[in-house]
Amino acid sequence: MIPEVHIREAVSGDIDGLLPLLKELFSIEADFCFNEDLQRRGLTMMLEPCESRCLLIASAGNRIIGMASIQTLISTAEGGLSGIIEDLVVTPEWRGKGIGRSLLEAIEVWAHTKGLKRMQLLADSTNTPALEFYQKRGWMTTQLICLRKTEIHQHGKGRYDHWQCSDLY
């Protein structure tokens, strides 16, 4: 008999069960490498009380089988809040059973209750199953590309709160 699946907000006691999901996700994404210490720190930060982010899990019995997270930011284009889905992953043996769809729908409900105008996400360009999954659910590709910088340095004369726009030119 297949156990009943429940979706709920994650708590700190779920972190050990979430780490294998992130390891699975990062094995698919060429831009990231799994590092248990870093991912544990990130999950701990995600689970600190905050109204601008949400981490949901799907569980079957006492096992975590999926997760999805969203964080809000201000969109000047939308004139309001938007959300970025950071992680959506389901264990391989539970894929194709509606778990990812249910997690995505639950994230959308959360986004609606927070008044978000738009949601966005990044997906690995070679992850065809994920791209098809999102497109079937009304997500569309854009002309935007993702850029990232991992080495962030302090430049200029000093702290940012002493800068004026004229200092930058």
Q: What is the mean pLDDT of each run of 10 residues along the chain (169 residues)?
A: 89 97 88 90 95 97 96 96 95 95 97 97 89 93 88 67 53
Q: Which of 145, 144, 128, 146 is nearest to 136 (CA)?
A: 128
User: What global pTM score does this model have?
Assistant: 0.85
CATH code, domain with 91: 3.40.630.30
Tell me the Ramachandran region of residue 70: left when phi exceeds 0, alpha when psi lies from -120 to 50, beta otherwise.
Answer: beta
Domain count of the fold of the chain: 1
Q: CA separation (Å) from 112 to 6, 109, 118, 136?
A: 21, 5, 9, 20
pLDDT at 158: 57
User: CA-CA distance, 71 to 114, in Å (whole number)?
Assistant: 11
Supply the range of the domain harboring residue 60.
5-168
